[in-house]
Amino acid sequence: ADVEWIKKLNAFVIKPDLAIYLDIPPRVGVLRKRKAWEVMEGRKLGYLERIDLLSNVRELYLRLVGEGELVYVDANRGLEDVIRDVLSLIKEKLGIRE
């Protein structure tokens, strides 16, 4: 999908105070999902888990980050680190100081 089309589609939607993009490389995401599905359900990945498709979608999100529409968080790290960064962004937006 084209970013401009998405923006037009959302032109009348209330803009959020904070929109966070949790980024991981597509290959990492697919491997995580594949591992979880093998353990939980034995399912195989489908069309929406294709690396090329996910890479294109990721590029669109990164473009929105570059345009200031989203705030970037590197989610290719430990869960505690990601949570800490997200909470820090939320607290900053709310004006909460520690």
pLDDT above 90 as % of the chain? 50
Between 15 and 74, name the one with better pLDDT: 74
Q: What is the mean pLDDT of residues 39-60?
A: 73
Residue 36 confidence (pLDDT) above 90: no
Q: Of the given ranges (14-28, 32-46, 77-91), which has the lowest mean pLDDT?
A: 32-46
Residue-wise burial string across 49-65, b where 16 or more C-beta atoms lie within 10 A, e elsewhere: eeeeebeeebeebeebb
**CA-wise closest residue to 61 among 42, 45, 74, 78:** 74
Distance CA 1, CA 9 (A): 11
Residue 96 contacts residue 45 (beta carbons within 8 Å): no
Q: What is the pTM of this model?
A: 0.77
